[in-house]
Every structure is written in C-alpha cells, then in structure tokens.
Chains A and B, each alone.
Chain A
Amino acid sequence: MNMKKFSESVIKYRKLIIFVTVFITLILGFFLKNLTINSDILSYLPQDDPKVVLFNEVGDKFGGSSLAMVALECEDAFNHATLTRINEITQQFKEMAEIFQVMSLTDIIDIKKTDWGLEIGKFIDEDNIPRDSEELLRLRKYALSKDMYRDNLISDDGKITLIIARLKEDADKLAIGRRMREVVEGTRGNEKIYYGGIPFQMIFLTDIVQSDLTMLIPLVIFLVMGVLLMSFRSLRGVFLPLSCVLISTIWVLGFMSLLKIPLTIASDAMPVLLVAIGSAYGIHMLSKYNEDVHKEESKIQDIKDVLSEVGFPILLTGLTTLIGFLAFLSSNLSLIREFGVFTAMGVAFAMIISVTLLPAVLSFMKVKRTKRSTKKKENGWSTGMMNKVGGFVLRNAKLIIAFCIVVVLFSLFMITRLSREVNMVDYFKKNSEIRQAEEMMEERLGGSIPVQIVIKGDLKDPFVLKEMIRFEKFIEAQPSIHNPHSIADLICEMNWVVNGHHTIPETRDGVANLWFFIEGNEILNQLITDDAMEALIQANLGTVNTKQVIALVNQVEGYINKELRTDLIKLRISLVSSDFEAVLAKERMEQILSKINWDIKKRGLVWTAHNSELREMLFTAANPNSGGLDDAMIDALGMKVSDYLRTESTDIQVESEKVISAIIADIGDSLRLSKPGIGEAKTPEWGEEDIVDVLKKNVPQALYAEDPEALDYAAETIVTIIKDEKNWARVKRLIQDIKPFLPESLADDDKFLGDLRDDVWEINEDRIAIEGSKYEILPGNTKFQSRTKLSAQQTGMPIIYNDLDKQIIKSQAFSLSIAILLVFLLLAYRLKSIIGGFVSITPITLTILINFTIMAIFGIPLDVVTVLIGSVAVGIGIDYTIHFIIRFKVEHALGKTELEALGKTLETTGKAIVINALSVMMGFLVLVLGNIVPMQRFGYLIAITMIVSATASITVMPALLLVTRAGFIGRLGLLTNGLVSKVANKINVKNNYRKK
C-alpha cells in the first residue's frame, strides 16, 4: 500500500472521517444497551456435535436436562415449618410453565409396603403435612432408610433437603432461575438456602460478568490514563489515544449487540483487553507527532509525513496481533471463535481509527510545544540498564541458548502434566455463594451434576431391565458417583413390595403387572419415553474435578462397549439339553458374581479372593432340586397354606383344623430335606394336579360341590405358595453359606445382605438370557425362544464436559500452531529468510512454553479462558520481536557491526519494549481484581507472558542472532571466520563494548 497516498487522502477527507466516526459511534453506542451475556455452557459447543444433539434430545424426551436445585438446611428438615415451606416452594415451582417437573420431600412418589398391603402414593401428603413429632420422626427414619430419598432429596443426617426442578428444554434458564429465586425468597423460614445446578450457576455467572465489567472497564481506563499522562504529560496525550480504544470498543460491542451475539465468559475480557493493547497504535501515532510536528504553519504536511512513516509499522504489528486472534477461528467452540473474531475486529478498529481519526483530529488542533528535556534523563538511566543487559547477553550468548534448550525440554515434559478444567463451578471463587452450594451438595448430597445414560430397548422385557440393574450396580461401584436410578429400580421397588425381593420379575407379565401400579405417574416422564422403548439411567456426580469426570466418562464408555450385553437370546433352562444347561448355569454364575463384586466395591471394599468358592456355592444352590425345606421352613409354609385356606379370599374355605393339618402334612413331608444341610428335597416340584389330588383327598366334597373349579384355583395358589417358600429357602441357605466368606463389616450389614439376596435371587429362575455372540458359538444352538436387543448411550453434563475438554485441547493445539505458523510465514516473507522466521518466533514460542510450565507447576488448569493465552501472547508478544529485528536491521544497515547494532537496538527499542510490556501487563493485571476465576488466571498469566516475552526478545533474540550469525540480517562480518576466531573476536568485542 502506498502510505503517501493514504495519508494524502486522510487529510483530504479529514472532516468526513471525523463525521463518519462520530456517526458510527453514536449508532453503535445506541445498540450497546441491547448487549446480553450468554453463560450457557452448552451453547458454547457446536450444536451439530452428536453429543450435544443427544443431550438436547434427551432433555426433550425426558423433560429437561437442566436441573435447578434449591437446598434448605436446618437442624432437622423434618419439622412442620420446614416441610410447609418446601411444599409452598414446590407448589409454586409446579405452577411455572417452564418447569417440567418438581421433586421434593412433599412431592415424591412413595412405594410402601404396609402391614396390610401396599400403598403407592406420595411420601408426604401435601394437604396434610404432619405436625406430630412422633409422626415426623417416623417419616425421617423412613426417608433415611430409602435409597430413593437418602443422599438424593435428604442428606443422611436429615439436615439438608433438596427441591429439584427440571426445566423444559426451551426455557430461558436465566429468567426462570431468577423467578425461582424470587419464589424461594418470598417464602418465610429460618432455613439456610443454597442454590445449585446449571441455571443458578448461569445467574451467578451473568451477574458476576456484569459487575466485573462495570468495575474493571473504568479501572483499566483509569490505569491507561495514568500511563498516558506520565508519558505525554498533556491532556490530548491522554484523551486522543484513549478515545481511539474507547471508540473501537464501542464499535465492537455495538456490532455484537447488533448481530445479537451475546458476550461470553471469554469475550467479556475483550473491553479490558482492547483498552490495554489497542492504545499502543494511538500512542505510536501521537509520539511520532510530538517528535516531528513543531510548527503550526507546516502542520498539515508534517502530519502527512508522520502518518506515512508510522502507518506501516502500525499496520504490521496490528496484522500480527490480528493473526493471533483470528487463529481462534479454527476452534470448534463458538465462544473461542467469537472471542477471536471480535477482539480481532476491535484491534483492527483501534488500528484504523489511530491512522485515520487521530491524524484528522490532530490536523484541527493547535501544535503544542513539548519539552523533551526529561527524556534525556530517562535515557541515561535506562541506557545504563540496557547496557548491562547487553553485556550479559554478549558474554553469555551460548549459556542463554543452552538455558533455553533446558527450558524447552523441561516445558515439554511439564506440558504433559497440564491440567484442564471445564466445570462451570470452577469459574467461581472458593468463597462465592454458588461454589459453596456446589461443594455442600457434593459433600452432603452426592453432587449436583446429573450423569445420564439412555437405554434403548423394550423396557417391559425383564432382561432389558436386568441389564439396566447390572449397569447401575457397575456405576455405583465407581468412585464419586451416587444414586443411580431408573425405571428398573421402580420395578424392583414394587416387586419388593409385592414379593419381598428387590429384583426384576422373571417374566414379562410380571413386569407388566408391576408397571400397572405406576402407569401414568408423573415420575415416569423423567425415566422413560411414552412408548416405553427408551429409558434414562440417572446418577449424581459427586465431583467437579474435570480429571475425575473424564475418568468416569471413560469408565462408563468402557462398560457400554465391553460389558453391556446388547444382544440377548432368551432361553429356558428347563427346556434345553443338559450340555447347554451347564453353559447357561455358568453364565448365570458369572452374572451374579459380578453383581456381588460391584455391591462390595460400592462399599469401598475389594473382594475377589473368594470368587471361586462363591462360584461353587452358587452352582450348588442353582440346582433345581436344592430347594428343600427344613423343619422351621415347613412350619412356615404350613402357616401360609393354612392362612390361605382360612381367609375370605380363599377359593375353598376350610375351617377344620384337622383337614388343614392333613393337607399341610401331605405337602410338607415331600419337601423336607432328605438329609439335613445337603439341601436336596425328595420331590422337587409340586404341580397343580398333585395339589388338586391332595385337596381332593383331604377336603370334604361338600365344600366345593357348588363350585368345582374352586379346587383348581386353590391348587394354583398353593403351588405358588410352595414355589415361593422353596425359592426363599434356597436363597436363605445360600446367603448363610456365603456369609463366612464376606468381609467382616458386611456379614451383619442388613442393607448389604439385602443386596446379596437380590443379586442371587436369579438362581431361582428358569428364564435366562445369553449374549448372541456367545450363543452362536455354542454347539447345537438352533432353537431359542426369542431375542431382545438394547443399546446404551452416555449423555448428561459429564460427557458434555468431556467434549468441551477435548475441544479445548483441540482449540489450543490448532489456534496456537496456526498463529505461530502464520506469524512465521509473515516474518519469513518480510525478512526474506526462513532462518529469520525461525529466529523471530523463538522468543514467543519459548514464552508460551514457559507459560504452560508455570500453569503446570502451579496447577493452573487450561479452561475456556486460559486456553486463549497462547495465541493472544503470540499476537501481542511477537510485536516485541518485530520491533527488535527491524531496528537491528536498520542499525546494521547503517554500517555498524552486529555488536554495535545490537547495543544500539537494546538501548532504544529494547527499552521501548520493556516499557510497553510493563504497561500492557498493568492493563491485564486489572483482570485479577475481577471475580471470575478463569479471567483472573488469564489476567496474571498474560501479564507474566508479556514480561517473559519482552525479556526473551531482548536476551534470547540477540543471543540467537549472535550464535546463528543469521544471514538474513545482512552481511555479517564474522560470517566466514572459523569457530575459534569467532569466539576470540567476540570476547574482544565484548571487552570493547564494556569499555564504552
């Protein structure tokens, strides 16, 4: 570009320039008020990413993946006032159209076994919140005994209770979150309130961003004003460069607002950043003006000259800065792209305004006399310092390079230890309300982040449900994951109520019968889709640590890929050949064994030592003939049969004690254990016909003469009773056998023994499923009953975090390499030397490596903001190198030796570099005063980076120039000399240099 022509036009159209600038500023300034803040972490990810699509889909199908949680803390949540308050909040939340569902102590399904039957209803009747202390105590005990409530809705000390609201997918999370807070604050009570979950985190983040902006922008402006005042000592020196950055900031923000692009956690740093780095262009322009324009008469021509002289360096440094920011376009994360584009735009605006508006305005201003006396003094001081630096560099060039190599190697090692953090909670300071709420929930309630797994398959198929239970057991055995729950648990819960064991029923009809109880219950909406073909397993994640989250995501992914049985062949053991039977029995053993092992692992214990004994025991117990009863069991069975025959619901009402005893004796005798302890009965199975025979033999005919079918019905029921008793006998005996092998702490743990009972219950079942691939390799496998398939996909926040984490690494790698590559190409082209290119990018590469090393050493994680540091540092820091090299070339071209040229460059540009770096650093340090943790990190890391980069430019750079004797600088005198003479010469020159 022809700078002369350009400066002519600027002066020619100066009025127009001023008018247009003011006009645009007014218009864009008007739009500033519409600028919004987007703190929705999910929106930062590419929306067509399959993980995001799935996440949204699940939210849609299962009623919202965004959970907003309100926790109430008090001495004991089970008091009338607190429960009333919970109810009030729950009711009001339920009224909100954007809330899909609310769960709390006063609105939660309860499946209860009672003395007389069962009850499916609510845990607490919202219309009748108990006052009676005994009743409250009973509720408390009950709640703490139930997995569904404990650690989920109520902490295990009964002090903290949660209200969980699921927001509809399309809800404005911010607005609804605020309204929810209002609701909570509108209720009275002494409970301490915590707010958790993404919607509330978003509110906090938005508010903090807003308050930070209103505090930090004036602060950085004030700071820059101070710097400008010190260097220019005039009002115009303060206000002209400042207005350049302010105008460009207004333009960018106005532009964003016009395009309806909200500020994000990354781009909110932009105003501070623009003020800190954008003022440099105006400063360059103005200082050159101060240097060269002295007379009012020749003002216009002088300004033209100034412009054509500084225009180019401003554009070049601006261009490299732009490259740094535009490199972010390579990222998949919208917040990083937006940050890059708009900051680049801001830099471009600042640059353009500095070379158009600034000279245009100056051309209308009177020329001022400036005193330059102070500069000499400064010169003296800083020249001394620079001389020292120069001397050091010259003496130790090789040492510096060697040191650099060590630093590089060390850095490369440290980079592998760099941690990453993507969790939103980490954005907040440790003592902030939201952070404390999250930590409380993590500690006391198993965390606020939902882990979700979508299961696709026929959910009324018992084998699909059984796979879900297995999966859940696996999940619960993993560290820091709690409370997995799904439709499968509800079915188990109901089976427990009906049949006394917490298992999935053996048959499809069994499942369907239990399902009937909860049909239409609103809790189903968050567990299954309407067609019962998709279900959600949900668990709470009790950690916010990204590393742990990712480890977990991988564990679960591993389970889905390796352990989960997705293609199931359903068989009946009683119908297969004996060879086959053994294979199936073995399969069953392994399934049961893994469940038991997970149940033990869940309790923090490891127990695999006795697996072989256990296999043996399971194998024996699974024998269909093993369900013999001992005397006590026979008595119990007798009681049940007798009860049945006496009740009003019986099919044949038998009153006679004698008749009943006779029936029981006939049945019981055959079930008695053949030898005590061995567990085999004489007659394994009682069929209905056999029972009919027994009844016919004993019951007077008159009792069923009118209703002959009654015998069959009665026999059917009695067979069921017998089968039940045998099953229980088998399981109880097995548990007794296993007990001695259990870890001591578990042998008397009723809860664990309950789990054990449920794990081994399968041995009673005839139906079994085996994986298709295993089945196919079995000989003689032609016949099978039927087949069912299922699949699982992981979703929920953890996988989103995992995705975000991957994207951050990718963004870091891409943007940084692109920035360095482009800068290298630009400089290699400008310097017409590839080596020149390499030498120039060395200081900044080193700086970035050091930055990562610092991050690794101090455990500062890469996050959505610190990921920006690399390219930003390249964009800004490379300027120092450019200034240095250009000056060095100029000096060298003037005929000086490289050492003299180096000395001169350090004295002039070197000093400028340090001053510039210090002032930019001050600007960035303002961010440390903000309240967003990643922004603070960004602030001080960039500040450190500026210093490192400036230091590297004046030490490593000259050392490199000396050692490489880089030809690109010009013809270096010592180029042809041998190594020895090179060193000798250098020492001479150094001595000379010192004498100066």
Chain B
Amino acid sequence: MQKITLTTILFFLVAFLFICQPEELNAEELTLTASQILEKCDDVINAPTDQDLRIKLILIDKKGKEKMREMSMLQKGNDKRMVKFLSPADQRGIAFLSLPDDIMYLYLPAFKKIRRIASHVKNTKFAGSDFTYEDMEAIRYSKKYIPELLKKEENHYVLQLKPREGVKTDYSKLVMWVRMDNFYPTKIEHYNKGDKLYKIMISKKIEKVNGYWISKEYEMEDLKAEHKTRMMILDVKFDSGLSDDKFTKRYLSR
C-alpha cells in the first residue's frame, strides 16, 4: 500500500514536472519583449545557410483568371540570390542576380545581353506578382523595423512593425502574426503611406524540412488592385553547399 502510494506520488511528481515544464516555458515567453520575438522570427526564417528552391507563381486577377510563372531560385546567406525563369516559354532563361550592396544584374536571353539594373526602386512589382522587390528582400525584419507587441491571440503574437529612422520602405507599418510555438510568421498586413491596409500576406503550409521551418505556400493580396499572387515552393533543398560561382554574371546565361 505504502509502496503504491510512494510510486503514485513519484509518478505524480514526475508527471507534474513534465506538465510544469512547458508551463514554465510559457511563463518565460510571456516576458519576451517584442524585439526578442522579432529576433527569433528572423532567426527562424533565415536559418538555412543556403537554399535551392523551385517556385511556382500563380497570378490571380480580380476576375479569377490565373497566370503561371515557374522559376528556380538559389540563395546563399541573405544577400546573394540567383533567380531564373523556367516558364512561360517566351521568358524562359531570363535570369537575375542580386548581390550585396543592392547590385542587380538581369540577363535577357532574347538579346543575349546582361544589364545591370537599378534596385533602389523597390516598390516595383516582381514579375507581375503582388510581391515587390522589397517584399522579396531577404533582409532581417529586426534590422528594418521597430516592433511593438500589440496583443497575443490564440497561439500567436501580434506585432506592429514601424520602420526605423532612415529606412526606405513603401510601407508605413506592418502588422505581423508570429506563431508562438516556432516563431514563424503566418500573416503580415502591409499598410501604405496613407496608413491604409493595402496588402495582406498569408503563409500557408508551414512545414519543417531538413530541420528548418519553411512555408511552402504564400499568398499576397493587393486589396486595391484586387489582385492576388500565390507563391508555391515546389521543391526545396537546404544547405547543399552552393558555391559562390553560382552567383556570378557569367552564370546568368547558363
């Protein structure tokens, strides 16, 4: 009897510890500052050292008509990127290379010419999508924005991000929903300079691949233009040791 009691107590004690542990963690999280949350979020998004993706873009106009684009994307760190278009057929081979310090090169296969393009105009839409060049930047949110914790919703922190002084952006603020469990952002509202909500990005299919969290489907909606873009990650490889050679002008045409 006593033995049983002891075992029971022991059991309960262990059980209690087990149950308590996450509780304690939660308690710790509660004290996380907005900046810490954003830092963690940045860490999660930028975790892989390199990425090799195949992406499908579906552009959906207000009448529901769809247009497809397929491309491959190589990324190393968060400042080197090579994007190549695979479809549509007449744009196949168009490639562009982004290098540190806002240097961008574009290759036009029809003319076999490489042109450097200015990248300071970041509110230009990327390939007809609702993502602008700014949205595609792999810059850390915490470098660009000052976060403020607005509230906690079911499993989510809701952060408001306001641009830091001197940062050039097309947005007056972002409101970002960050998952409590893995700090992956699930939804970002973009406000324009008139402080009106004008674009919403939603991350769907958040999965763990090779130990990294990734959203395999994004959707960006432009509310005024009533236009939507779905970005689907068809294939993904992380940390495959991409060499710097892959990020050169010479490689643009190959």
Contacts and interface: CB of A to CB of B under 8 A. Distances in A.
A191 to B, nearest CB: 23
Interface stretch (A66-74, A116-124, A149-157, A482-490): A116-124
Contacts of A519: 125, 127-128
B94 interface: yes
A510 B118 contact: no
A760 to B, nearest CB: 20
Interface residues of A, number: 45
A426 interface: no
Contacts of A521: 124-125
A649 B91 contact: no
Contacts of A513: 90-91, 94, 108-111
A514 B113 CA distance: 12
Contacts of A895: none
A507 B110 contact: yes
Nearest to B194: A95
Interface string B184-221: 00000000011010000000000000000000000000
A121 B254 CA distance: 28
Interface stretch (A233-241, A713-721, A773-781): A713-721
B114 A118 contact: no
Nearest to B59: A520
A505 B252 CA distance: 22
A117 B117 contact: yes
B196 A498 contact: no
A976 B146 CA distance: 112
A838 to B, nearest CB: 63
Interface in B92-150: 94, 105, 108-118, 120-121, 124-130
A508 B115 contact: no
A499 interface: yes
Interface size grouping (class) on chain B? 35 or more
A530 interface: yes
Contacts of B253: 713
Interface in A508-548: 508-516, 519-522, 530-531
Contacts of B168: 127
A95 B196 contact: yes
A530 B66 CA distance: 10
Contacts of A516: 85, 91, 94, 108, 127
Nearest to A650: B250
B252 A649 contact: yes
Interface string A636-656: 000000000001111100000
Contacts of A512: 88, 90-91, 110
B3 to A, nearest CB: 74
A120 B126 CA distance: 12
A118 B116 contact: yes
Nearest to A122: B121
A117 B115 contact: yes
A114 interface: yes
B249 interface: yes
Interface string A118-135: 111110010100000000
Interface in A93-142: 94-95, 112, 114, 116-122, 125, 127
Nearest to A508: B90
A499 B130 CA distance: 29
B110 A117 contact: no
A460 interface: yes
B125 A520 contact: yes
B196 A717 contact: no
Given A91-B194, A648-B250, A649-B252, A505 B117 contact: no
B121 A120 contact: yes
B248 interface: yes
Find the residue from B85, B250, B254 having the highest chain A CB count within 10 A: B250
A118 B121 CA distance: 12
Nearest to B63: A530
B235 interface: no
Nearest to A515: B91
Nearest to A653: B250
Contacts of A127: 168
B129 A520 contact: yes
Contacts of A717: 112
B61 interface: yes
A91 B115 CA distance: 32
A522 B127 CA distance: 12
A720 B111 contact: yes
A520 B254 contact: no
B196 A716 contact: no
A647 B91 CA distance: 26
Find the residue from B105, B112, B114 having the highest chain A CB count within 10 A: B112
Contact of A648 (B111, B127, B249): B249
Contacts of A514: 108
A63 to B, nearest CB: 10
Nearest to A506: B110
12 contacts: A95-B194, A114-B118, A117-B118, A121-B124, A505-B111, A510-B110, A510-B111, A511-B90, A512-B91, A520-B129, A530-B63, A713-B253
Given A520-B126, A530-B65, 9 more contacts: A117-B118, A120-B118, A121-B124, A511-B90, A513-B109, A530-B61, A531-B65, A717-B112, A720-B113
